[in-house]
Amino acid sequence: MDETKKGNEIDGNDANLVKNRSEILFVYDITNANPNGDPVMNRPRMDEDTEINLVSDTRLKRTVRDYLGMRLGEDKIFVKASDNENGKRKTKEQSLKEFLATQNDSGLTSKKSEQMLEHQYIDLRLFGATLPVPKSDGDKKKRSSGRSKAGDNKTDANVDGASATDVKEGTASEDLKTLKWIGPVQFRFGHSLHKVLPMVLKGTSVFPSKEGQEMGTFTEFNYVPYSLIAFSGIVNEENAKATGLTEGDVNWLDDALWNGTKGLITRSKYGQMPRFLMQVIYRDGMHFHIGDLDNAIGLLLPDGKVLDTADINGRLLRKVSEFMIDLTNVVKVLRLNSDRIKEIRIRSDSTATFAIRKEANVDKIGGTDLTNRFKQEIQEITITELSDLK
């Protein structure tokens, strides 16, 4: 990668602001663990009709935040779990109030405080936020106006606690306004590229559930034996202007997707491995992206047979060596749009096998050779390889 793109900028310098739209395709797998449990029973999220394993965009963003907090410092992350002096979990409002206190600003009334909020927190620059803040005296005199513009892609709205548009007269919430950044980086739900059969592992705990009992309690661990998951996302250059997103921030995002996913070592997440990451950067002034790249990926069995998402045999997959990641349609759609693409950045796992089909033949490509193969397949586009940030 060009050294000018590799830096660790987190200063929100206008010269480094993202100016080109880009698209992200990310593929990882998980073995004997739970990629995203539901809030009730912590069961893997599933589309029950199709048996496709689902992972929310919120889970992926949490992975990114946790990794960036570790690498850059927790003070660079706004949305995080932290406790107040009473040992209770801080609310978003409390975290904002603490920040404003450092700026001597009780209600985010100055443009400087707004810019400092963006400067301080990389996750706000990446993903945006909706923050309820105290109104200034000037704002309180304009309650009847409903909404007021607050800069590019930012809106101030009166809030009644349940709605951002319906305001009830005489409520304490009229002293609040909502500052909203539309995050330039957005992902849609991740999904497995094959059918998945979730399982439950029953066990026992050495500790009893109640005082006086001698036996330990029964436990359950919800997991999937194997799931290969694809995410697609976008970096919107217009919203990047509003949050101050820099090229350096996006470099950290790429690093966090790869190493943050692999670095989740809790019991429910240990076993995740990144397999393929691609960022497609479009040409200057090109307000366009291909979209749906996650659905362009396919799977092939070792004999070259296509394993589609409706194939019941997908539930039997247990490891990455049992299939090839088919990038035929990905390469095809990139080639068709080559006149709109400035650069493609790629990272692939050395233990995965990729494939490109040509008529009746299947070309098998090792992970270490994938970048060079992309250069051969799409010669009119600059292809570079993503690597760890130091």
**What residues pair up with 385 in beta bridges, in sequence order?**
346
Confirm if 242 and 153 have CB atoms less than 8 A apart: yes
| C-alpha span between 207 and 45 (Å, rounded) | 29
The one-letter amino acid at 251: N
Q: Is 73 contained in some domain?
A: no
pLDDT at 97: 72
Q: Among 12, 61, 4, which residue's Cα sits nearest to residue 241?
A: 12
Residues 196 and 171 occupy one common structural domain: no
Q: Is the pLDDT of residue 29 over 90?
A: yes
**Averaged pLDDT of the chain:** 83
Q: Beta strand 190-195 with 218-235: parallel, antiparallel or unpaired?
A: antiparallel
Q: How far is CA 202 from CA 199, 218, 270, 314, 380, in A?
A: 10, 7, 19, 24, 55
Residues near 315 by beta carbon (within 8 Å), at least 6 away in sequence: 51, 194, 195, 196, 197
pLDDT at 202: 72
Residues 269 and 159 occupy one common structural domain: no
Q: How far is CA 120 from CA 9, 15, 146, in A?
A: 12, 17, 30
| C-alpha span between 292 and 113 (Å, rounded) | 38
pLDDT at 3: 35
Q: Structurally, how many domains does the chain consist of?
A: 2
Q: Tell me the mean pLDDT in the region 372-378.
A: 96
Q: Is 131 contained in some domain?
A: yes
Residues 339 and 358 occupy one common structural domain: yes
Q: Is 155 contained in some domain?
A: yes
Residues 162 and 208 occupy one common structural domain: no
Residues 205 and 353 occupy one common structural domain: yes
Q: Is the pLDDT of residue 325 over 60?
A: yes
Confirm if 58 and 127 have CB atoms less than 8 A apart: no
- Residue 100: give the domain boundaries: 92-183
Task: Quickly count helices (H) and strands (E) in the chain.
Answer: 10, 19
Q: Is 87 contained in some domain?
A: no
Residues 234 and 352 occupy one common structural domain: yes
More confident position, 108 or 303: 303
Which of 134, 163, 183 is the C-terminal boundary of a domain?
183
Q: Beta strand 341-348 with 382-385: parallel, antiparallel or unpaired?
A: parallel
The one-letter amino acid at 217: T
More confident position, 87 or 18: 18
Q: Beta strand 52-55 with 154-158: parallel, antiparallel or unpaired?
A: unpaired
| C-alpha span between 8 and 246 (Å, rounded) | 10
The tokens 């109104």 sit on which residue? 135
Which of 124, 148, 183 is the C-terminal boundary of a domain?
183
| C-alpha span between 79 and 82 (Å, rounded) | 9
Residues 128 and 208 occupy one common structural domain: no
Q: Beta strand 341-348 with 128-134: parallel, antiparallel or unpaired?
A: unpaired
Residues 225 and 211 occupy one common structural domain: yes
pLDDT in tens, 130-171: 877 666 555 555 544 444 443 444 333 332 232 333 333 333
**What residues pair up with 367 in beta bridges, in sequence order?**
none
Residues near 158 by beta carbon (within 8 Å), at least 6 away in sequence: 143, 146, 147, 164, 167, 173, 174, 176, 177, 178
Which of 125, 157, 183 is the C-terminal boundary of a domain?
183
